[in-house]
Structure 1
Amino acid sequence: MMVPVALLLLGALTAVLAPRLLARADWLDREPVVALWVWQCVVAAVLLCCALSMTLSAAAAWQAVRGHVFATAPPAVVDAYALGAAGPWAAATAMTLALGGLWSLAMLVREVVRARGRRRARRAELRVRAPLLPGEEQVSGRLVVLEGERPDAWWLPGAAPQLVITTAALRRLKERQLDALLAHEQGHAQARHDWLLHCSTALADGFPRIPVFAAFQAEMHRLVELAADDMASRRFGRLTTALALVELNEERGVFGPCPAAQAHVPQRVHRLLTPPDRLPALHRLRLTAVAALVPVLPVLVAFVPGLRALG
């Protein structure tokens, strides 16, 4: 009964090697959408290794689970997994991995609940700062303007997503810069980047000692901004998008010698003004295909004994 152990070793190897290989890659900033896909495949492979190892360990430890997992399998396939030869570690492994899965789900639920709470608080603040006048009816628009002396803008997702922008930002941004800002935020909404951020934050908070999840969270926060920048720049130009970023963040100290929060903004502006060459289409397709094979590998490892028995 070595398949669960092999799956755990494969998951650990993927968790250790993949972030190091991606950190050395020089194409991530050039192709953020492909990089997002690769990172998702890596994390999916790690989680899949744990899930398959848990399932096979549980099947080895308890006859009831084995009956459900191998309900339609021929006797030769069941014998190929040597489930009866499993030691006492099978039940402990299955329980540990099951608790890890439940903990991951709990962290994801907590993150979603917190995000919804923050969204409700911002909408309540919006109603206070921009109340309806007597006799005015609520209009479902995608742009809300607030009085404010500081240039700021943010996207409120939900059933009726809205871009909130202050009057100071409107005075600073020209028409095409405002369109680029709107396109940037729409890029986040269309690609559902909020769910990527929720999942990465849940894993990083739930398992803070596992470096692959911390790297996953950091890269998601960086790459989603680059991907949205590219979407805006394709429609309104890189210079216009870069100027919109500068106008919004110039008074926040992010361009000084000692930038505080949002230190990634200068790198984003530099990337927009000096765009790197994109990878050839065939290269992008090859990276996408190879990344898609990463989660397939644990499935192949799990099914090898059964396939051998059938062959």
Structure 2
Amino acid sequence: MLVSLVLLVLGALTAVVTPRLMARAQWPEREPVVALWVWQCVVAGVLLSFGLSMTFSASAAWQAVRGQVFAPAPRAVVEAYALAAYGPWSAVIAVLLALGGLWTVAMLVREIHRAQQRRRRRRSELLVRSPLLPGEEPGSGPLVVLEGERPDAWWLPGAAPQLVITTAALGRLKGRQLDAVLAHEQGHAQARHDWLLHCSAALATGFPQVPVFAAFRDEMHRLVELAADDVASRHFGRLTIALALVELNEDRGVFGPCPTPDAQVPLRVNRLLAPVERLTAARRLRLTAAAALVPVVPLVVAFLPGLSALG
């Protein structure tokens, strides 16, 4: 049972330690794309650790599972894992982890279903508020303009992502600010940030007591906005997208002393107006490579006894 327990402890430690380490790090705001990659690798490593632990525990508990998992393996490899010595707790661990896996899938399916319902509802509202002209196809254009006294703009994901903007926002956005807002939203669409938000929300909702999943959800909401800001700033400049954010949000009280649900907007504006130097290419490469190793570690732990037996 040693391999199964090591994988279980490895996943648990990663889930507890990583949010603390990332909270202390200063570089994610400078490199949001790298930070998004790091978080995805960490969560993948946690899930992979638990999944492999479930596989070895189930193999020890039931001969039928063992026969499927180790079917092509030589006898020496099977003996290296000492599955017969796992004990009665292997079945309990396997069942608990399997239930966790099923719950994860159920939460993800529910989140995707709810997102689809919200998307259909918002598209129906758009058709009512902005009916199609004769010969116009639904979703045929990247921009939808709505009559509205409140300046607002949002991204509507889907097969044909669209930027929805009110006439009040059009009246406020000057020069290339509208193009910058469109580039920001296109950055979300091209990177498929909606899938990151769905997955992180599903894990955080399904396992609210697991620190890494709650931090994963919160950081995804923050980092995807920073990454999209960087996309827009590369094309139209930091000042342009910063002024566009101010124009769209100054009437919502987000720049006052009291915190609001959009409290991250002032932080985004300050980041754009007072940029810090990016990490060097070498350090970005090191961080990317180190993150890629996180899901590799449980694979090494899982295959090491078998490879040692073959050697």
TMscore range, shorter length: over 0.9
Q: Residue deviations 1:56-82, cap 9 Å, x none?
A: 001001111101100110000000000
- Distance across 2 between alignment mates of 1:224 and 1:213: 16
- Distance across 1 between alignment mates of 2:304 and 2:132: 65
The match for 2:54 is 54
Structure 2 residue 92 is the aligned partner of structure 1 residue 92? yes
8 Å Cα contact 2:193-2:224 kept in structure 1 = yes
> 1:18 offset after TM fit, Å?
1.2
The match for 1:175 is 175
Structure 2 residue 113 is the aligned partner of structure 1 residue 103? no
Pairs within 5 Å for 1:205-216:
205-216=205-216
CA 1:86/1:267 → structure 2, altered by over 3 Å: closer, same or farther? same
Structure 2: stretches of 5+ with no match in the other structure: none
- Distance across 2 between alignment mates of 1:190 and 1:132: 25
Which letter does structure 1 place at the counterpart of 2:71? Answer: A
Structure 2 residue 128 is the aligned partner of structure 1 residue 128? yes
- Distance across 1 between alignment mates of 2:170 and 2:66: 64
> 1:136 offset after TM fit, Å?
5.5
Q: Residue deviations 1:163-220, cap 9 Å, x none?
A: 1100000000013100000000000000010000000000000001111110110000
> 1:308 offset after TM fit, Å?
1.1
Report how many residues are paired.
310
The match for 1:137 is 136
8 Å Cα contact 2:180-2:235 kept in structure 1 = yes
> 1:130 offset after TM fit, Å?
1.0
> 1:131 offset after TM fit, Å?
1.8
8 Å Cα contact 2:180-2:236 kept in structure 1 = yes
8 Å Cα contact 2:16-2:210 kept in structure 1 = no
What SS is found at the alignment partner of 1:175? coil
> 1:282 offset after TM fit, Å?
0.6
- Distance across 1 between alignment mates of 2:73 and 2:4: 18
Which letter does structure 2 place at the counterpart of 1:138? Answer: E
The match for 1:260 is 260
- Distance across 2 between alignment mates of 1:161 and 1:195: 13
Structure 2 residue 19 is the aligned partner of structure 1 residue 25? no
- Distance across 2 between alignment mates of 1:38 and 1:291: 5
- Distance across 1 between alignment mates of 2:136 and 2:186: 25
8 Å Cα contact 2:255-2:266 kept in structure 1 = yes
- Distance across 2 between alignment mates of 1:260 and 1:107: 28
> 1:158 offset after TM fit, Å?
1.3
> 1:137 offset after TM fit, Å?
3.5
Pairs within 5 Å for 1:192-211:
192-211=192-211
* Coordinate RMSD, CA, aligned: 1.0
For normalisation by structure 1, the TM-score amounts to 0.98
Pairs within 5 Å for 1:113-124:
113-124=113-124
Pairs within 5 Å for 1:35-46:
35-46=35-46
The match for 2:246 is 246
- Distance across 2 between alignment mates of 1:73 and 1:227: 45
Which stretch shows the higher mean deviation, 155-164 or 204-213? 155-164
- Distance across 2 between alignment mates of 1:210 and 1:49: 15
Structure 1: stretches of 5+ with no match in the other structure: none
4+ long deviations beyond 3 Å: 135-139
> 1:138 offset after TM fit, Å?
3.4
Q: Residue deviations 1:221-241, cap 9 Å, x none?
A: 000000000000000000000
> 1:259 offset after TM fit, Å?
3.1
Structure 2 residue 188 is the aligned partner of structure 1 residue 188? yes
What SS is found at the alignment partner of 1:56? helix
Which letter does structure 1 place at the counterpart of 2:44? Answer: A
What SS is found at the alignment partner of 2:308? helix
- Distance across 2 between alignment mates of 1:109 and 1:151: 34
For normalisation by structure 2, the TM-score amounts to 0.98
Identity of aligned residues (%): 76
- Distance across 2 between alignment mates of 1:160 and 1:39: 27
